[in-house]
Amino acid sequence: MSESNGKEKKEFLLRFCGSSAIQLFKEAFSDIVGRKVDSLFFDSEYAPLETKKRYRKKIPNSLKDIKPALLKEIKVFKGSRGKPCLSVPITQGHNIYGFVVILNLRREPDKKELAVMKLFIDLALKDFQKEQELRKLYDTIRPRAIALSTIHTVHRLLTSTLDMHELIERIARLTLQVMRSKYCSIMLLDTSKNYLIPKAVIDLKFNAGSMRKKYRKIKIGAGAICKVARTGKADLSRNSVCVPLVEEDIIGIICARNKANNTPFTKFDMEILLTLAEQAVIAIRNAQMYEEQEKMAYGSIKSLAALLDAKSPHTYTHSEQFVKIVMALAEEMRLSREETTNLRYAALLPDTGKFSIPDEILKKRGGLSREEFSIIKKQHLESLKILKPLEFLKPAMPTIMYHHERHDGTGYPEGLKGKDIPIGARIMAVVDAFDAMVSRKKNMMQATKELEKNKGTQFDPDVVKAFISLSSKQEFKQIFL
Amino acid sequence: MKNITALFKNDITKKILLFFDENPQCIDTAKGISVWIGCDPDKVQKVLKKLDKEKILISHKTASTQAYSYTNQKDILKKIEKYIKTYERKISR
C-alpha cells in the first residue's frame, strides 16, 4: 500500500468507510447480533473521521481517552448505558488505517463471531484496495491510451495524402481537434529562412472555422512565434502553444491558441502537439518529395511530347486544349488523384506509337486499305516500346494502349468491351473524338450530338453523359477562349 | 440536430456521446471507439455515421480509413453537455 502520509491514509479510510464493503459488513453484523447496528469510524490516531457535533455526541466516554496502540486487536468495551461496543481495527500487516466501532450491541459477541468479523473486514479491505488500485490504473492509463490511439489515427490520416494543400489543411484541422483550441496556424519557412509563410490559418471565431484565404508572410523577428522558428524550441503560455516543425532543419511552426473551454494550455498539451508536429513533418516532407517527383515526371513527358511535336505538330500528341478537356472530364467523373495524374500523362502522349507509321499513311486523305489499317492498329506496340523504359508511366500505359477500344468491343488493339476498357481510356476516347471533330471545323454542338449518337456503341454512355454535363459549364467554354 | 433525449435512447449513441464528452480531443476510427466503449464495431460504425450526419461528430476520410472526432460547434456542445449533466444527476440519485 502506497498511502504513506497521514492525509492520504485518511482519504483512503474515508472512501473505504463509505464503500459497499463496509455496508455489507454492518448488515452481516446486524444479522449476527439480531439488530441494526450503529457505527463510528476513527483514524489510526483514534480521532473521529467526522467532526460534526451530532457524530461526536455518539462517541462513548470510554473511547475518548483510549490509546490506539492498545487496540491493535478486535476489542469489546462498555459503551453508554453499559451496553457492549466493539472496536475493529482496519489493518493490513503492521499498517493501521483506522478503526470501525460498532455501538451499543444487544449482546456481547462470542469469540467465533469476533474472529469472523475480523476476517470479514480484512477481506473487505483487501478487496477495496484492489478496486482502488484498478481504478487508479484505469484513471491514469485510459486517457493516455486514448491519446495514443488519437496520435496513431492522426498518423494514419496524415500519411494518407500526398497533396500538399490538402495535407496542410488536414494538419490544421487535426491540431484544432486534438488541442481543443479555437485557433491554429501552420507556417513554413521560405527558402531564405527569413520569412514565415502562413499555409493554413483556421480561426473558429470567424466564418465557422473556414480557412482564411489571404495570409501575410511574417519576417522573422523577436516575437514568440519567430523565436520558435529561430531556435526550434517549443513555446508554452497560458493561451498559446507553439511548436517547431523540425526535420534535420527547422521547416516551420504549428501554433494553437485559445482553448475552447478557456482553460490554460498545459505541458501535456505541448507534448501532444510536439508528437503531432513530428508526424506532420514526415508527411510534409513526403508530400514535398512527391511534388518534386511529379514535376520531374511531368517535365520529362513534356520534353518527349515537344520532341515528337517538332517532327510533325499534333500528329503524335494533342493540343493543350485536349489535355485540359481530359482533365476537366476526369474531375467531372470524380476520378481519384492517382487516376487523374496517370490520365494527364497519358493525355500528353496518346499516340506516341504513330512515330513508327510511315508519313504517307498518316497524311493520306480518304480511306485506308486493310494493310494500312493493320499498320495503324499496331501503333500501340510501338507506344509500349518507346514508353516502357519510363517506369513512372507504367500506370498510364493501359490508358495509352486502349484508348482506341470501343464500348461495343469492335475497337482495337484487343477488342475490349464496356467496363473492361480502363476508365482513363474511355475518357480519352470521347475527348479524342470530340477534339478531332472540332478541329475538322464542326461546331461544339454538332460534335456533342455526334458523341451522344454513338454512346453505347463507340463510347461509354456514362462518360458521354459526364461530358455533356461538363460541356454546359462555364469552365468548359473557357478552355476554348 | 435531432432531439438529444431521442439520441440518448439508443444505448450505443449514449455511450459514444458520453465518451466524446469525456474525451473531446479524441480522434479515432469506429474500431478504436468500439474498444473504448465496449460495443460491437459494426453497430458503432452505423451510429458514428448517423452522428456525423447530425453534425455532432466530424468525420475525417482517407482512402483506407475513416476517423471521427467531436464537433467544435459551441451550441451543439453546450446542449449535449447540459443534457449529460442532468442525465448524470439522475443516475446518481
pLDDT tens for each residue of A463-477: 999 999 998 888 887
| pLDDT single digits (tens) B11-44 | 999 999 999 988 888 899 999 999 999 999 999 9
pLDDT of residue A18 exceeding 50, the answer is: yes
Calculate what percentage of chain A has a pLDDT beyond 90.
24
Alpha carbon of B26: minimum distance to chain A alpha carbons (Å): 6
Q: What is the pLDDT of residue A4?
A: 53
With CA atoms as reference, the chain B residue closest to A148 would be B26
* CA B82, B88, B90, B93 torsion-angle sign: negative
Please state, in angstroms and as integers, the Cα–Cα distance from residue A77 to each residue in A87, A102, A118, A336, A371, following that order: 8, 10, 16, 85, 121
With CA atoms as reference, the chain B residue closest to A157 would be B62
Cell output for A26: 454492518
Closest CA to A235 of A219, A249, A223: A223
A120-145 mean pLDDT: 87
Q: Domains for chain A: give ranges and CATH numbers.
A: 6-130 (3.30.450), 159-289 (3.30.450.40), 312-479 (1.10.3210.10)
Cell output for A255: 501554433
Report how far residue A363's alpha carbon sits from residue A230's, in angstroms, rounded to the nearest whole number: 64
Domains contained in chain B, number = 1
Q: What H or E segment, with its residue span, contains residue B77?
A: helix B74-92
Q: What is the pLDDT of residue A71?
A: 66
Calculate what percentage of chain A has a pLDDT beyond 70.
88
A18-40 mean pLDDT: 78
Cβ contacts of B27 on chain A, cutoff 8 Å: 150, 153-154, 157, 174, 177-178
Q: What is the pLDDT of residue A256?
A: 95
Q: What is the pLDDT of residue A314?
A: 58
Alpha carbon of A284: minimum distance to chain B alpha carbons (Å): 16
CATH number at residue B74: 1.10.10.10
Whether residues A160 and B62 touch (CB distance < 8 A) is answered with yes
pLDDT band at A2 (very low <50, low <70, confident <90, very high): very low
Cβ contacts of A339 on chain B, cutoff 8 Å: none
Q: Which of A149, A177, A336 sits opposite B32 (nearest CB)?
A: A149
Q: What is the pLDDT of residue A191?
A: 86
Count CB atoms within 10 A of the CB of residue A13.
Answer: 22
When mean pLDDT is compared across A44-58, A321-335, B56-70, the lowest value belongs to: A44-58
pLDDT of residue A324 exceeding 80, the answer is: yes
Alpha carbon of B14: minimum distance to chain A alpha carbons (Å): 18
User: Largest Cα–Cα distance of chain A, in whole Å?
Assistant: 129
With CA atoms as reference, the chain A residue closest to B74 would be A260
Whether residues B60 and A176 touch (CB distance < 8 A) is answered with no
Please state, in angstroms and as integers, the Cα–Cα distance from residue A407 to each residue in A43, A343, A422, A454, B88, following that order: 89, 19, 11, 10, 63
Give the residue numbers spanning the domain of B82.
4-92
Cβ contacts of B67 on chain A, cutoff 8 Å: 153, 156-157
pLDDT of residue A413 exceeding 70, the answer is: yes
pLDDT band at A242 (very low <50, low <70, confident <90, very high): very high
Q: What is the pLDDT of residue B45?
A: 95
At which residue does the C-alpha cell 501532444 appear?
A272
| pLDDT single digits (tens) A152-183 | 888 888 888 888 888 998 899 889 888 888 89
Q: Are A280 and A158 in contact (CB under 8 A)?
A: yes
With CA atoms as reference, the chain A residue closest to B61 would be A157
The answer, as to whether pTM is greater than 0.80, is no
Q: What is the pLDDT of residue B29?
A: 92
Cβ contacts of A156 on chain B, cutoff 8 Å: 62, 64-65, 67
Whether residues B27 and A156 touch (CB distance < 8 A) is answered with no
Q: Which of A146, A156, A176 sits opposite B62 (nearest CB)?
A: A156
**Residue A204 corresponds to which amino acid?**
L
Alpha carbon of B1: minimum distance to chain A alpha carbons (Å): 17
Calculate what percentage of chain B has a pLDDT beyond 70.
95
Check if the interface score ipTM surpasses 0.90: no
- Tell which of B71, B72, B76, B81 to mutate to test the A interface (max A CBs under 10 Å): B72
Q: What is the pLDDT of residue A117?
A: 82
- Tell which of B22, B35, B61, B69 to mutate to test the A interface (max A CBs under 10 Å): B69
pLDDT of residue A351 exceeding 80, the answer is: no
Given its phi and psi angles, is residue A101 left (phi above 0), alpha (psi -120 to 50 degrees) or beta? beta
Q: What is the pLDDT of residue A212?
A: 53
Residues with Cβ within 8 Å of residue A383, at least 6 apart in sequence: A349, A351, A352, A353, A400, A401
Q: What is the pLDDT of residue A1?
A: 44
